[in-house]
Amino acid sequence: MDIDTTAVNRLRQRFGEHEQIWLFGYGSLIFKAGFPYLERKQASITGHVRRFWQGSHDHRGTPEFPGRVVTLAPQAGATCSGMAYLILPEVFDYLDHREKNGYLRFSTTLTFDDGSNAQALVYIADPDNAAYLGPATDTAIAGQIAAASGPSGRNRDYLTELADALAGLGKTDPHVQALVDCLPPDSSPDTFNNTDSR
C-alpha cells in the first residue's frame, strides 16, 4: 500500500530560513512530542472533531493488523482541544516522517487559552488516503485498538495516554472517553517494546 505522504508534504508549504511556525497537535503530538520546540501552549481549533478513524500500519499497528489513531473530521461549530508548539522549519523533516501514514499538512487558525489567535499547521488524514478506516461502533473501534500493537507500542496505550493527556489539560473528549470505557480488560504485553516515536 503506497500511503507515504512525506514527499507531498514537503511541497505543500515553503518556509523562510528563520521562520517560526505554530504546529497544532491533537493526538500523539499532545502526549509524545519528541522534537525540539521554542514554546508550547494549550490551544484549540474550531470546525473539527477528533476521531479514531485513521489506520496505523507503522506506529500502533502493522500492515497485517492496523491499529487506529486519531485524525480530524469536519463538524460545524465543534472545538478540538490540543497543544500548540512553536517550531523551526527543519522540524518538519521529523514530523513528515512521523506522520507519513496518510497525513497531510493543512493550514488552520488556532486559539490559545488567553483568546489570542495564530496561524498554524496541523496534520490531518482525510478520507481519501489509503490508510483511512472511517467510522465504526465504539465497541468495534475499542476492540481493534485493544488488539493492535506496532513499533511505537500498544494501540491501547495511545488511546489511554491521549485520554490522560487531555485530562491533564482539563479537557475531556466524549469520543475518546467512550472508547476508553469500551476497552476490554488489559492483558496483552507490548511485543514491540516501544521502539518507535509515536
Positions annotated as catalytic residues are: 99
Kindly identify the residues of this chain, within the stretch 100-129, that bind ligand SIN according to CB under 6 A.
Answer: 123
Considering only 5, 9, 25, 73, the residue that binds ligand SIN (CB under 6 A) is: 25
Q: Which is nearer to ligand SIN, 28 or 149 (CB)?
A: 28
198 binds ligand SIN (CB under 6 A): yes
The pairing of beta strand 21-25 with beta strand 117-124: parallel
Q: Which long-range contacts (CB under 8 A, 24 or more apart) does 11-16 make?
A: 12/104, 12/105, 13/105, 13/107, 13/121, 15/89, 15/92, 16/89
Residues between 54 and 73 that touch ligand SIN (CB under 6 A): 69-70
The answer to whether residue 153 forms part of the interface with ligand SIN (CB under 6 A) is no
Q: What is the distance between the alpha carbons of residues 108 and 33, in angstroms, rounded to a whole number?
A: 20
Residue 17: CB minimum distance to ligand SIN, A: 25
Which residue, 16 or 110, has its beta carbon nearer to ligand SIN?
110
